[in-house]
Every structure is written in C-alpha cells, then in structure tokens.
Structure 1
C-alpha cells in the first residue's frame, strides 16, 4: 500500500504496515476519533476472514461497503494450532446484522431487546465461537453495568481459549484485567499503562471537576 494513500497516511496504520503488530491474549486500543482505531480493527477482522460489517467468519451479511482496502495489505500469522474461527462485533452495524440473522432464520429475538441487551445476548449466544473476537467501540451500546457485564463475558471467552482485540473510548473497558493497552494517535501506536492513558486522565479530570471542562462551552 502506498504510504501517501489513505489509510496509510494515518501514523498508526503506517506503523503496522512497516513494523507489524503482535496481538496479546487481550489487546485494547484507545485513542481519539479519527486516530485509526476502527480502521485497524476492521482491517484485522476482514483479513482474518470475518465480515467487515460484523459477524462470524461464515457471515454473509452486506449492506454498503464502507471499509478501506487495508485488509488486502495485511498478512496475519497464526500460531500453531490457532483457531480459524472468529467473530466481529461493531455497535454501529448491529441493527443490520440482527436483520440478517432474522432473514436466515436465527431463533434469537435481538430486535425485540434494547441495544445493550441485544449486544450482550449476542456475545453470550455466540460464546461457542473459539477464536479471535474483534470488538469495535462496543460501549456505544452499553451502560456502565453493561460494560462490566461485557468484561465478564469476554473473560469467559479468553479463559476458554479465545483471543480478544478491542477498540474503545471507555475507561471501563480499557480496565480489562491483564489486557495489553495501546494508545493510538498522531505518534502511531504506543504501549501504555492504564493510569497513563489520556482517556483515563481526561475522564478523571472531568469527574473531579466538571465545571472546569464545561465552562469552555460558553
């Protein structure tokens, strides 16, 4: 991929293309909007064989192509005996994915539930999938208790041999115990401790003194 072409113009994407990127049992990417988190996780999911709109490696759901062609330029290297199964969860495309499940006769009742309830129930219902789980900003569907419930579900998946790649703006999900944390931005991708994340510092600052932030809205 030409480094002068999007999305290689994004520093994190360019770093992955030039240096590669190792996934831990649980890898969490955080960063501002537009930094490249979703582009990266979407491309990894697609390169793995998952539907870029969400779903498993066998899902055929498709509405409108919005993903980049980054996946075509990634080579995934699996460990010996690694599963070829995977599941990609994107909060922004869940409605379309649930419609697809209904169209193929899936017995779930996801459209009859709230966004958060259906998201968590989908993870639980697909927990038999052992492999790579990719989640793109799932917190948009979840409350604080919902985020904690998702961590519990993901820990069960990992304990049974799955691997998790997660992009998030949530300090709750970023606190996943034992996760490898990476901050994505104009510098590229850098490893970070939880307390050093801008995400965590900013949320702590806001919760300690909301007026310091809100006064700039006037």
Structure 2
C-alpha cells in the first residue's frame, strides 16, 4: 500500500494532455506502460535498465512535472545550458500525498558541472570546482539534506568511486530517516542495494518489479567479476 503522505504517490498520463502513443518517447515500452498503466512509488524507488531503456527520461520528466529544474537543483534553481529534455513532462500527472512536503531536489551526473557553476555564481556551497567531481557530488547531497521532500537522482554513480557510492548510500539512508522520498536511476549494483528500495527494471518488456539478485545488472556484474575473460574475448 502506498504511503498517503509521500510527496509523490504515483504518476500517470495527464487526462487533459494525453501523449501521442505513436511518437517518441511513448514508443519505448517502459514509457508506454508508464503512460497507460501509471506507476506507484514507495518511500524508496530504484530504476535500473540498459542504456536507452528510459530511466533518465522518467526521472527527468518527474523532476520537471514536480517543479524542479530539469538540469538539476531545487525549485528555485535557474541555471540552463541546452534544452534536451523529452516531451514526456508535458503528459505526466503527479499524484501527491495530501499535506506532504512540496520541496525536492534533483541531481543528475551529466549536468553537475553547470549546477556547480551556477551555485558558485550565486555564492552557495563554496568553490565546488576545486574539489573532485565525487567530493562535490557528496558535499551537495550533504549540504542540501535539510530540504527533504522528494529527492531524484539520475545515475549518480557516474561521479563516484565504490567508496563514494557507499558514502552516498549512507547519506540517502539519513535522508529517508528524516522523512525524504528517494527515486534513483542507476547502473550500479552498489546503489541498487539501497536498503528498503522497491526495484524496477526497464527494458523491452516495459517496467517490471524485481528482487536484487534477479536484476540483470547484478547478474551481469557477478558474471563479469567471476570471469572477466569470458567478456573480454569478445572485444576482438
């Protein structure tokens, strides 16, 4: 049963702005399923899947529909580089919890440089470009943890080492303990192990719930680590 006070209880296609199901991104099986069947969210949701499956598209569209800057940051972040977001945001209706926090924060690895630059320009968070990418990423999560509400993270492992991923898990655990809701897309088996998460795989089948051990990314990483040469011999 979905917690009625979550910032985001579910998403579905907006009745007043239906998507053209013959146009991208609705032609992707996960997007078609999301639009026609909707998707409910618990306190922690982790989305996995191969490149191009639609994980980032979903997270980005939710961020935009929620009122967050699609290039990262909170509702008041004004930075913008080049608009590349999908039209999915225009066709989503969010089901919010009654009385739940409307605050939130969006972190996406591919636009962190512009977000750091924006914060430096407005005098927030110190000089982030003088730190490593991973250090800055963890610092911004720690500094903004007071925001609470809905936290969206798109493939944050791009900025992080293994120890950095473990540190992020600790920060996310603390956010949840403080009442925040987490939606995370990832290729990392470490981040997919976030305790208490509902796990979903996106792919040609659409969107399906999965257990950790049955995730394709977990099984593939285990196979690679057990025998790297089985994979490397196909490189030619």
Length-normalised TM-score, structure 2: 0.91
Residue matched to 1:167: 185
Contact 2:65 2:93 (C-alpha < 8 Å) held by counterparts: yes
The 1-side partners of 2:193 and 2:186 are apart by 11
Gaps of 5+ in 1: none
1:212–1:107: structure 2 CA closer, same or farther, 3 Å change rule?
Answer: closer
Provide, for residues 145-168 of structure 1, a one-character-per-residue CA deviation record: whole Å limited to 9, x for no partner.
000000000010011110000000
Instruction: Map residues 20-169 of structure 1 onto 2, 5 A cutoff.
Output: 20-169=38-187
Cα RMSD, aligned residues only: 0.7
1:181 paired residue among 178, 195, 199 = 199
The 1-side partners of 2:102 and 2:76 are apart by 11
Provide, for residues 173-212 of structure 1, a one-character-per-residue CA deviation record: whole Å limited to 9, x for no partner.
0011110000000110000000001100000000000011
Gaps of 5+ in 2: 1-18
Secondary structure (helix, strand or coil) at the match of 2:145 reads coil
Given the alignment of the two structures, is residue 216 of structure 1 paired with residue 234 of structure 2, yes or no?
yes
